[in-house]
Each structure stands twice: as C-alpha cells, then as structure tokens.
Chains A and B, each alone.
Chain A
Amino acid sequence: MGNEARRSSYKQEYTFGMDYGTGDFKYGPISCGEKPEIIENRGYFPDRESIMYTTFENPREIIVGRDVPLYLQASDDLSTRLVYPMKNGVIGKNDLQAWSVVREISKYGIETFKPADSDFQGFYLVSSLSSVSPRYMYEKLFETYGEINREQKLIKAATVIQQPLAVAIAHKTTTCVVIESGHGNTQICPISRYPVRNAIVAINRGGGDSNALTAEILKDQGYGDLAREEAIVRKVKESIGLVPIDLEKAVASAKRNPKKFRARFKVPGTRVSIEFEDNSWTRFLIGEYVFNPNHELFQSYFSRGMGRPKDVKVGDTTFKGTLDFGDAVVEAVERCPIELQPHLYRQILLSGGNFSWKPPEQLKDVATDSANKMRILLRKKGVTNVKSLMTESPQFSVWRGCIIYGYAVPEDYEWSWDRMEGWNMLGD
C-alpha cells in the first residue's frame, strides 16, 4: 500500500467527530457506529475548600462528564460554578471560564476513546460550530486542540465545519437550504457542495423565545409560580403548543369550540395540573411565534413587558429579530445565483429541537407540523415549488456530518482562512 493510501486508510479509521450543542456534547470516533456518546455540555468548578475537592490526591480544577453530579453541593452557587459554555452558540472571546470548559470537555471526549495501539498517531478531529460563529471561535478551538496535544498526543489533525454543512452531509443532500433552529437562534444556510457563506441569514429567535411566550401565557392563566420554572415552562410548551395552518382561523375555531382544543398538562411527580380550555386558543400562539412573531395578537404581550426579539450584531453578523422564517428563506435563496434558486427551494431541511412539533390527529384541520408550515409560509411569499422536510435523527445529524467529512476529505487539504475549510495539522 502506497503512502497516500496508507494515510487515507489511517484517517478513515481514526476519524473523530465532536458536536458542541447548546445542552449536550456529542462525541466519538467513526467506530461508534450510528450514534455518538453524549454528555451534558457543561463544566463544574468545585469549591477548593470542599471535602470532595480535598479528598482526591489530584483534584481536578474543572469537572466534566458523568462525574459532575457527584460534586454538586446544595450550598453551591451554581450560577457561577456550573458553566454551560455554548448556551447561545457563541462564546465570548475573553470568557476564560467557558473556554477552559471547552478544553476540558474536548480532552475528556478524546481520551475516552484513545486506543492502546502503539501505532496510534492521533485522531483526525472534526468539530462543528454555528454558521455565524465569528472567526475568533475557530482560532480559539485550534488553540485549544493544540494545548491538548501538548499534554498528550491525541490529535493528528483538526478541522471545524459549519453545523448546517454537517446536517446537509448527514442528510445526503448536496444542494439544499438548511434551517437550523435551536434554543437561542436560527440560521438559514444555503448549501451547494459548499456553504454559500454570503447567503447565510441569522435570526435572533429560537426555542427560548417560545419558552418566554409560554411563560407569559401561564402567568395570564394564574400559574405565575410555575411560569418561573424554566424546565416546566419548556415541558408545557412541548406538550400543548400547536403550529397553526392559519393563525386567525385556528384561533377563531378554538374560541368557537374550546372543548375540542382543551389540553391538560400534569407536572410530573406532583398533583399540579395545568388546564387549557377557555384559553385553549393560546396554544396556537406558542407554535406560531417560532415561525412568525409579527401578528398583532403578540402585541399585547410585548406591551406588557415581554421582550420583543431584537436585531443583534455578533461579530460581522446581524441576527434579525422579527424576520419571519418565510422571508428569511427567500432572502437567503435570493442571494444565490438565479440558476441555483429552484434547486434550493426544492430541498429545505429543518434541523434542531425547535422544529419538533407534531399536531394531534383530531386537530389536523387547523394544526400542522414544521415542514408543512414552511411550505405554507413560502407559498404566501409566492414560492410554490417547495419541498420541505425534517432531518432524520436531528439529535445526531451534526456529529454524523462531522464523521463523513473527516472520512472523505483528503488529509492533504490544508486549512485556509479564506475557505474556512481544510485540515490543521497538529500532530506534525
């Protein structure tokens, strides 16, 4: 076997993927098969005075992985000691705590799978960032991997790819628009064998915003105490929220026949039960808000103090606050060459937990799912040749895309800051 073939064979064997999600860190080499390992994307900084810290001979400065719960103490100030670095997809350049968690969690992930093989020269590491991550995040990641390698030779080469590209790769679609919607924001990214970087549209609206609206609705119904518990608000949203085919018609139908749209959510492990009957029409506000927050029905919430999503600039990217998803897709596609546009509209991939809406069978005359909602929004803008679908296994799409990328891209394709692609050779 020639040198090139040998190197290619080695890379295909030792490809390693890492997806730094908002809540979870998905990691593992190609040998993991269909699913990666998953731990929470967080790190804990223990109190140096605590017994747990002083008990061990070599106490760790940062705890990550499955040991974190062992160190948590009731008296701790969790808001400062328990750090979720990727809460909004972007880490501040000078947020040393967050970057140290990223280093520790990356090292944890790679060390878990380090082979005992003496011929092991390090993994071909592929990690993934949001398509709107500023350049310094790529720089900091490479710097972090270099630091890990100085302690222990674990990485032969590293690269970072954009999450929408990873999703498209995992979905086996070379020409598409990926809409990635998570907790804090939404990215619309046209892909045509490469991400069309100048066409990316970012929206400052995600699952967290529909959580905020759900909390306001709960307060209006007299559940003010429950509205303060973020985990419960999210569960209520997921349980009773509905995406309307047409908001005004859906609300009118629910007001005419509230019993049909009645919903009940029982808080797990308690006797507390949240009832939606007379106000069952508000279920449609929760689903609509994700896609389009501009209807006048939302005005009363804004006027009573709920924050309206604002335009925000992060690095070179402006995140639009109230742009509806239909307008956002049209804006992104129309920045691409004209010949490409029909092909892009015909493959719109929805990815991310914010799109997991399933209408009950008996309400399918007024409620719908995310893929169909996108078709409806685009039809209103005059775009009719649309094929929209959810990605399979949205939880693992990005990791899978990383593995495929690492497996296939030649090892001599060097990193370029113009292309923002290629291998950064750390092992040499």
Chain B
Amino acid sequence: MQDAGTLSKNHSESNCLIFSGTGVLSAVRVLREEELSTRNSVLKAVLSSATLINRVNQVYLALPRLVSSTIESNIIEEYGIGLIVYDQKNVEEVVAPRYFQTASQHTIVASENEDSHRVLVEEIDTLRGRLRSLEEAVESLRSEVEYLRSWKPQAPREETVTSSSVSPRFEGAPSFLRDNPWIEVLSRRGREGERLVS
C-alpha cells in the first residue's frame, strides 16, 4: 500500500484489518501462519477477501511468504484483489488492488447529481426573473425618455405655496400641511372662475 491510513476501529471481520485514509477505505485479509495447519485455509482466505469487494474501496490478501507461491498472482489481479506477502522481516505488496466504488458512494454520487440539477434549474429560474425585471426597467426608462422628449415647457405652475394668509401658522405644523400644493389650490375655491373637469 502506498499511503499509510488510519486503522478503523469498526472492523468486525476476524483477521481482517480495515484502514481508512484520504477518502479511501481499505481492507486487508491476513492469513496467519498458524492458520496454515487448517485444511483449505488458503482457499478460505482468498474467498473471504473476495466478499469484501464493494464493501470497501480496496481489498488485500496478506499471505505468509512460504505459501505465496501456491497462488497465481495474475488470477488474484484479474479479480481486483491486491496481494501482500510477508515474513518475519518484510511486508511486500506484490499485486496492487483495483479501486472499487462502494454501494453507498454510488448512491451519494447519484443524489449529488440530482441536487446539482435542481440547483441549476433554480438558478436559471432566478436569472430569468432578473432578466424580466431588467427588461421591464429598460422599457420603463424608454417610456420616460419618450415622455421627456415630448414635454413642452408650461406656464409657471400656480400651485405653489406663496400666500402668507394660508401658510401654516402653528409652530411645528404637521408634515402633511407643509409644502403642499393643495393649500394654494384649495384657498382659491370660489375665488376664480371654476372649471370642473367632467
């Protein structure tokens, strides 16, 4: 194994070490020398390591050096299982394992794809809304410009507050009385020839 990981505390397989590191989960099924006396121990170790595929990302079979020659390494490699050979002095990776995506990682990726799609659709909707607002603002500005172009200067407006007899005499007059053009308009009710718009 190239990278050292941390030994997971949750491994429950006997003679199986679980390592996790940089997002990769690795399992090592170790065949101990004392197991060699059991019949078919090598076969059992190979088969039990195969069951770990798809439960972890990488699976290793660790064999004592004295029985490693009984295994054809290319067959192990064909099934994606890594092979480690060990003795009293050395631990050697003979076959590198294939990387497997676990079942839960498949689900997460699919879900992430769905979420991304939804986020993109929502962003497109938001952008459409903004574009619509901008179009409306442009149209409104265009109308304002057309109106201003067509505007002609008019006679000075009469609705300005000039008469002192109707200026608010209270200190602190309410805001709705101050600078109100209606004061002048209403003060002339009955004083001018009225032209009712009808």
Contact = CB atoms under 8 A, between A and B. Distances in A.
B189 A196 contact: no
B180 A172 contact: yes
A408 B166 contact: yes
Nearest to B176: A400
Contacts of A412: 190
Interface string B157-188: 00100000110111010111101111111110
Contacts of B185: 174, 193, 408
B186 A408 contact: yes
B129 interface: yes
A34 interface: yes
A409 B182 CA distance: 10
Contacts of A404: 176-177, 180, 182-183, 186
B122 A260 contact: yes
B139 A384 contact: yes
A413 B143 contact: no
A16 to B, nearest CB: 14
Nearest to A35: B174
Given A400-B174, A409-B186, A365 B165 contact: no
B169 A342 contact: no
B198 A197 contact: yes
A170 B189 contact: no
A342 B147 contact: yes
Identify the interface centre among B143, B181, B196, B197: most chain A CB within 10 Å of its CB.
B197
A245 B39 CA distance: 79
Q: How large is the interface on B (under 10, 10 to 19, 20 to 34, 35 or more residues)?
A: 35 or more
A192 interface: yes
Contacts of A384: 139-140, 143
Nearest to A33: B174
Given A405-B186, A408-B185, 18 more contacts: A8-B165, A12-B169, A30-B174, A33-B172, A34-B174, A34-B176, A172-B182, A174-B185, A193-B185, A193-B197, A245-B129, A245-B132, A365-B128, A379-B136, A385-B147, A408-B166, A409-B189, A421-B189
Interface of A: 5, 8-9, 12, 30-31, 33-34, 168-170, 172, 174, 192-194, 196-198, 245, 253, 256-257, 260, 336-337, 340, 342, 346, 364-366, 375-376, 379, 384-385, 400, 403-405, 407-410, 412-414, 419, 421-422
18 contacts: A5-B165, A197-B196, A198-B198, A245-B132, A257-B122, A337-B197, A379-B136, A384-B139, A385-B144, A385-B146, A403-B177, A404-B180, A407-B166, A407-B168, A407-B177, A408-B166, A410-B191, A419-B194
